[in-house]
Chain A
Amino acid sequence: MRTFAHALVPVLVVLAGCQEHSPTKRDVTRPAVKESANFVDITEQTELHFDYQNGREAGLYAILESLGGGCAVLDYDRDNQLDVFAPGGGGFVDQMLIVGRDSFLCRGRPGLRFEPVAEVARCATSKHYSHGCAVADSDNDGFADILMTGYGGLQFYHNLGDGTFEEVAAESQLVDSQWSSSAGWGDLNGDGLPDLYVCHYANWSFDNNPVCAGSGPDRRDVCPPREFEALNDTLYENNGDGTFSNSSQAAGLVPGGKGLGVVLADFDHDFDTDIYVANDTTPNFLYQNDGTGKLTEIGVASGTALDERGAPTGSMGTAVGDFDSDGLTDLWVTNFEMETFGLYRNRGQCQFQHISRDSGVNAIGSKFVGFGTATEDFDVDGDLDIAVSNGHVICYPNDGNAEQLPVYLENQGKGIFRKIDPGKDGQYFYRKHVGRGLATGDFDKDGKIDLVFTHLNSAGCILHNETVTTGRSMRVELIGTRSNRDGLGARILLETSAGSQIRHLAGGGSYLSQSESAVTFGVAAGIECKKVTVIWPKSGLEQSIPIAESDCIITFKESDGVRNSVHE
C-alpha cells in the first residue's frame, strides 16, 4: 500500500455539499445485520426507453449482429440529473446495404424520470450501424461529448452546451471507416487533453460473410471470430483544437487483437495512463505508458494477456478496481462461455496473477457469455462488488437459448467473491436476457450505485439500488483545470479507521458503455472516515480534505497545491 508520507497543505477544495443526499430517505431505518444488494427494475415508472436492434430478421447470420450495443450514463446538460445515451444499432436492406438506426438520449428529470430528447438534442440520427459510446469532455469546455462507434465509421457528437450536439467526426478528423466496438478516453501524453483509444474488431463484410454450421432450423448460425482477420486498433491523439491525429504507430500500438473492450487506468501506479484491451479469442493487450504517451505492449509478460492456463480467452468487457484492498489496481475481464471470467490481481510493478479460481469467481460456472461489467461498492460495505451483463452471441446455442442470467458477485472482503441474486424472485437478476452493455450511475444521489443494462433486440433496463445497508457512502466529483476537466486518470484515496480505499477515475471500461464519471466510496458501519485525497493526473497535485462523516458529496477542483515528491 502506497502511503503519502508528506503532510499536505489543505488546498482550495470546493465542498459542494456534505449532507444527506437521499431524496426519499430510503435508508433511514438501518438494520443491524448487513443485507445483500437489492436492485429493483424501475424502467417502467421512470419512462426510460431505449432499445437496440441488430437486424437479425434479414437472416444474414452476420457476426456484425452479435456485438450489440452499449449505453452511457452522463449529465450532458449539467442539470445535476444523470441522463442516458444509447446507440440504436442498425439493419440490412436487401442484403446489400447496412443502415444505422436512431440513437436514444433520455434526459434525467427530478424524481427519477426520463424524457426522450435525442431529436431535440440533434444526436438521434445515426449514419452508421452503431454499437458503443464513450463520453468525455474532449475539449475541456465543461460539457460532455459523445463518441459513438460502429460499422462504417465513428460518429462524434460535440456538446454545444445549449442542450444540443453537433456531429463533427469528419471535422475532428475522426475518420475511421473500420468496424469499431468499444472506445475509451484518457490523457496518455499528459497534455491535459483526453486522447481516444478505439477498438476495432474483425474484417467482416458482405463479401466476407461465410456460412457457418449451427444448430438452428437451417443449420446455420453466426460464425465464430476465428473465421475473420483481426483489425488494428487506433489511438487518436487530441490536438487541443478540436481535431485528433492518428498516433497509433507513433505511440506503439501492436497489430491485431479483435478488440471488444478497453479501459484506461494507471496499472503500474506511476501516475500516467496505461491501457488494457480485452480481445476476442486473441491475447489481451496491456500497454504500459512511459509517461509521454509512448506505449509498450506487455500483456503476456505482465500475466494479463491470457488465462491461468496461458490460453487466450474470448474477452469482451473489462473493469478495474482494488478488489482485495491492497492499494493496487486489479483487473477484471468478462469472457466467453467454457472459459471463466478473469480476475487479475495486481502484484505491483505491472505484474499480475490470474486468481479467478482462487477468489471464488470460477464458482459462478462457465456457461456465461459475459459482456458489460461494472465494479462498484453496490452494497456500501467498503469493498468492490461486480455486476456482469450476459447473453450469447449465436442464435442457437447448445442449451437452446441465447438469453442468460446476469451475474452479481458480492465481495466477501479481501477479494473473495460469492455469487448472489440481488432482489426478489422474478426481478431483473432472476430473469434471462441477451445482455450486452452495462453502465452505472447514482441517479438519485442516494449514495447507492444504480445500474443500466442494454439488451440485444429488446429494451434496456434501469435498476434502482435499494440495498438496505448500515453503511454510508461518499461521492467524489472532480473538476480538472490543468488536467483534463473530467479528471480521467486521477487517483482518489479515502482514509478510514479501517484502512484506505483507493479508486482510479478510469476511462472506458465495461463493454461499449460508459459509466458516470464520479467516484462513490462505501464505508461500512462503525468505520470512521479520516481524509480524502485526490492526486491529479497531469499536474501531480495532491489535494486532501479531512472528513469526519460520510454520506456526502465532495467536489474537488484542481488548484494550486503542494506537489508530492514521493509519487514514485
Chain B
Amino acid sequence: MSEIQFDISRALKLTPKRWARRRIWIWWIAVICTGIFVFWAGGGVGRTLDAAIANSISRRDYEQAEGWLRFCENLGCSTPETLLLKARLFRKQLKISEVPELLVAADAAGVNRARIRIEYLLLEAQTGRIRHVAEQLNALLQQGGEDGAEICEAYVNGAMMIGATEVAMTILPVWKQEYPQDPQPYYAMARILEYQQNIPDAIRELETANSKDSRHWPSRYALARILYGENRIEEAQQQLEIATQMQSNAAPLLLKAKCLRALGQLQEAHSALAPFATLDRNTVLESFSIVGEPERGYPIEYELGTLEAALGNHAEARRLLEKVLQNDPNHLDARYARALSLRDLGESKLAETELAEVHRIRTVLTEIDRLVDDINKSPAEPHLEARCRIGELFLKYENARRGVFWLQEALNKDPSYRPAHKLLADYYDSLKVREPEYAALADRHRKAADGPAELPPEAGVKP
C-alpha cells in the first residue's frame, strides 16, 4: 500500500499572487452572504418559496406544494401569503376543518381581505354550499383575474358534491376554453361522465388531462382505476407504472396489487402489498387524498386481508379484517370476508351468525334499488323522502359517503328539508367524538333541522 503524503507547510505558504486571488474570493463570498442576508431579511426567500408553493398548487402537484411548504416553515421564512397558500392547499386536499383557522391567521397577518374573502367563497363552494355563494362566484368569474381557474374548480367540485352535475356542466366548457393547458376541467368532466356511466367518454377526458400534464396524479389514478374497473388490466397497469412515481404512492400501488390479482397472480399481489401494511395509516390516506379519492378506512388492510384469505391464511386474514372493522363496523364486504375466514378457522357458529347478519343487511339495502326505481320513474319530481331514506340506509348500514351524497341531493332539491338536516346532524355528531372538526357541520345541520329552514351563508364555515 502506498502512502499519500500531504505537505501542509507548502499549502500554507502563500505567495503575494495567491494571496491577492484569495482576497478576491473572500470579497465575493462577503458580497454573496450580504446579498443572501438582504434577500432573507427583506423576505425574498419567503416570497420565492411562496411562488414555488403557488406554482405547485396551480399545477395541482400537492405533494410538491407540501414539500415547499414544509421547507419554508422549517426555514422559518413563512410570510402572510404562505398562510393563505397553506389554507388554499388544505382546502384542495379536503382538509377543510383546518382552513378557517388559517384564513383567520392570514387575515391577522395582513393579507389582502379581498383575497381572503375569495378563499372563503371557494371554501363554501367546495364544501357543497354553492347555493349560498353562487352569485358572488359568478361575479368573480365575470371579473376574471388570476383566480379564475380556482373559482371554476371550487364551483365544479361543490356542484359535484351535491349531485348538481348540470351546474358543473355549464362551468366546465368555459373553464376548458379559458385555461386550455389545465388538466383539471378534463378530470372533473371525466368524474361526471363516470358518474353518468359514460365510461368511454370519461376515459377520453382523462387521457386528455394526462396529455396536458403527465403528473396530474388524480387523472392518472382515475384513468387506471376506471380501466381496472373495465377489466382492461394491462392498460391500467401501464397507467400505474407512471402513477406509482408519486412520492406517496400507496393508492396506485394498492391498485397495482388489485390488477395482479385480476390476472390470477396472487403471490405477486401479496408481495406488492405486504410492505404497505406496516406503513403509517396517515401516509396511506394522504396518498388517496393526493389522487383525489379520499379514504377514511383501512384500504390496504382490507385488500391484504382478502388476499390472505384467498391464499388460505385465514388467521392473518381475520386479524387484518378485524382491524378494518374496528374502524368501520359497517364495512359489509370486510364483514363478509371475515365471516368466511371465521368459518375456515373452525368458528362455525360465529361465522354463521355473521353471514346471516350480512345477509340481513344486504336484504335491507335492496330497498335502495326500489327507491332508485321510484326516483327514475319521475325524475322531474324531487323525491325528497326517497332520497332521504336512501341516504339514511347508506349511513346506517354501508357507505357513509354515499349516504351523505344522497342527503345532500335531497337538500339540493329543497335546502330546508329538515329530515335530511337531522340525519346529517346525527351523522356528524357521531363523527365529532373522534374528529372534532365535524362539530361545526353537526351544529349547522342541527340548527337547520331544529330551527329556521335555511341558514345564511355566513353561518357556515366562515368564522
CB of A360 within 8 A of CB of B262, answer yes
Assess A300 versus B230: contact at CB under 8 Å? Given A213-B376, A359-B264, A398-B197: no
CA distance A56 to B344 in the complex (A): 48
CB of A310 within 8 A of CB of B352, answer no
Residue from A211, A300, A353, A365 within 8 A of B231 (CB atoms):
A365
Q: Which of B19-27, B55-63, B103-111, B333-341 contacts A (4 or more CB under 8 A)?
A: B333-341
CB of A311 within 8 A of CB of B373, answer no
Count of chain B residues with Cβ under 8 Å from any Cβ of A?
36
CB of A301 within 8 A of CB of B352, answer yes
CA distance A229 to B268 in the complex (A): 45
Assess A301 versus B373: contact at CB under 8 Å? Given A366-B231, A416-B264: no
Q: Select the residue from B231, B309, B362 with max chain A CB neighbours within 10 A.
A: B231
CA distance A284 to B358 in the complex (A): 15
Q: Nearest chain B CB to A514's CB is how many angstroms away?
A: 31
CA distance A357 to B265 in the complex (A): 10
CA distance A487 to B153 in the complex (A): 68
Closest B residue by C-beta to A302: B343
A15 at the interface (CB under 8 A from B): no
| Contact indicator per residue, chain A 299-321, by CB within 8 Å of chain B (1) or not (0) | 01101011011111000000000
CA distance A309 to B365 in the complex (A): 14
Secondary structure dominating the interface of A: loop
CB of A358 within 8 A of CB of B310, answer yes
CA distance A437 to B376 in the complex (A): 32
Q: Nearest chain B CB to A362's CB is how many angstroms away?
A: 5
A226 at the interface (CB under 8 A from B): yes
CA distance A566 to B445 in the complex (A): 69
CB of B355 within 8 A of CB of A301, answer yes
Q: Which residues of B contact A412 (CB under 8 A)?
A: 264
CB of A355 within 8 A of CB of B310, answer yes
Q: Nearest chain A CB to B48's CB is how many angstroms away?
A: 50
The 7 sampled A-B contact pairs (Cβ below 8 Å) are: A226-B366, A300-B355, A306-B362, A308-B306, A358-B261, A358-B264, A358-B266
Closest A residue by C-beta to B229: A366
A13 at the interface (CB under 8 A from B): no
CA distance A99 to B297 in the complex (A): 56
Q: Nearest chain B CB to A48's CB is how many angstroms away?
A: 34
CA distance A311 to B369 in the complex (A): 13
Assess A300 versus B377: contact at CB under 8 Å? Given A357-B262, A359-B264, A366-B231: no
B233 at the interface (CB under 8 A from A): yes
Assess A351 versus B230: contact at CB under 8 Å? Given A300-B355, A358-B310, A360-B262: no
CA distance A137 to B309 in the complex (A): 43
Q: Which residues of A contact B262 (CB under 8 A)?
A: 357, 360, 362-363
B356 at the interface (CB under 8 A from A): yes
A120 at the interface (CB under 8 A from B): no
CA distance A282 to B213 in the complex (A): 46
A283 at the interface (CB under 8 A from B): yes
A364 at the interface (CB under 8 A from B): yes
When A and B form their complex, what is the total count of cross-chain residue pairs whose Cβ atoms lie within 8 Å?
A: 82
A212 at the interface (CB under 8 A from B): yes
Q: Which residues of B contact A516 (CB under 8 A)?
A: none
Apart from A213-B377, A226-B370: 8 A-B pairs, beta carbons within 8 A = A224-B373, A226-B369, A301-B355, A310-B333, A310-B355, A311-B362, A357-B261, A358-B264
| Contact indicator per residue, chain B 286-314, by CB within 8 Å of chain A (1) or not (0) | 00000000000000000000100110000
CB of B373 within 8 A of CB of A226, answer yes
CA distance A357 to B197 in the complex (A): 22
| Contact indicator per residue, chain A 360-375, by CB within 8 Å of chain B (1) or not (0) | 1011111000000000
CB of B369 within 8 A of CB of A310, answer no
A191 at the interface (CB under 8 A from B): no
A227 at the interface (CB under 8 A from B): yes
Q: Which residues of A contact B264 (CB under 8 A)?
A: 358-360, 412, 416-417
In chain A between 74 and 116, which residues have their CB closer than 8 angstroms to a CB of chain B?
A: none
CB of B263 within 8 A of CB of A351, answer no
Closest B residue by C-beta to A359: B264
Assess A306 versus B373: contact at CB under 8 Å? Given A351-B343, A363-B263, A364-B231: no
| Contact indicator per residue, chain B 86-122, by CB within 8 Å of chain A (1) or not (0) | 0000000000000000000000000000000000000
CB of A212 within 8 A of CB of B373, answer yes
Closest B residue by C-beta to A412: B264
B359 at the interface (CB under 8 A from A): yes
Q: Nearest chain A CB to B338's CB is how many angstroms away?
A: 10
CA distance A262 to B266 in the complex (A): 31
CA distance A311 to B365 in the complex (A): 10
A347 at the interface (CB under 8 A from B): yes
CB of B261 within 8 A of CB of A309, answer no
CB of B340 within 8 A of CB of A353, answer yes
CB of B359 within 8 A of CB of A310, answer yes
Q: Which residues of A contact B343 (CB under 8 A)?
A: 301, 303, 351
Question: Which 8 pairs of residues, A with B, have the shortest CB-CB distance?
Answer: A310-B336, A365-B231, A416-B264, A360-B264, A309-B333, A310-B358, A213-B376, A358-B310
Q: Which residues of A contact B230 (CB under 8 A)?
A: 365
Closest A residue by C-beta to B234: A363
Q: Which residues of B contact A303 (CB under 8 A)?
A: 340, 343
B332 at the interface (CB under 8 A from A): yes
CB of A283 within 8 A of CB of B359, answer yes
Q: Nearest chain B CB to A405's CB is how many angstroms away?
A: 14
Q: Which residues of A contact B370 (CB under 8 A)?
A: 226
CA distance A325 to B39 in the complex (A): 75
CA distance A227 to B332 in the complex (A): 25
Q: Nearest chain A CB to B239's CB is how many angstroms away?
A: 16
CA distance A416 to B377 in the complex (A): 43
Q: Nearest chain A CB to B318's CB is how many angstroms away?
A: 15
CA distance A97 to B366 in the complex (A): 33
CA distance A11 to B206 in the complex (A): 68
Closest A residue by C-beta to B231: A365
| Contact indicator per residue, chain A 273-294, by CB within 8 Å of chain B (1) or not (0) | 0000000010100000000000
CB of A310 within 8 A of CB of B310, answer no
Q: Nearest chain A CB to B353's CB is how many angstroms away?
A: 11
CB of A227 within 8 A of CB of B310, answer no
CA distance A310 to B330 in the complex (A): 13
Q: Which residues of A contact B332 (CB under 8 A)?
A: 309-311
Closest B residue by C-beta to A301: B352
